[in-house]
Amino acid sequence: MMVLSKLTGILIPLVFIVGIWGTSGLVYDEFSDGSICPKILSIPACYIIALCLVVPFIGHLLNWNKIVYYAGTGLAASIALFGTMSNLSGLTQCPQTASGTPMCYISLALFTSLIALKFVQQKLQS
């Protein structure tokens, strides 16, 4: 149990850092070139995803109410799930990595992992 607790304590910040690092390039490209990210209510989805990484990460580090964590990661997971389903059905095209992997797939895995890790961490602490 103690090993799993330490592991979640390391993995949660690590996943956030990887996500923020990966998203920052896309946000920069969207800001400088425009029309790279699909829009949600005329806001580029990558901006929303970046915010859903930064705010819950700060909340996690500062031990804010877990509602902030789950609201941010849950919103982003929902967006990523919608993007994944839309991409798979051919309705939209998610931005892709250099190797051709749709970023919405990666985003869905990342946010699902963050939700699961936080849930496990909370269960271990109670």
Local confidence band at 5 (pLDDT 50, 70, 90 cut-offs): confident
**Taking the chain, what is the end-to-end CA distance rounded to the nearest angstrom?**
12
Residue 74 has pLDDT above 80, yes or no: yes
For the chain, the average pLDDT equals: 93
Helices (H), 43-102: 45-61, 66-89
Q: What percent of the chain has pLDDT over 90?
A: 76
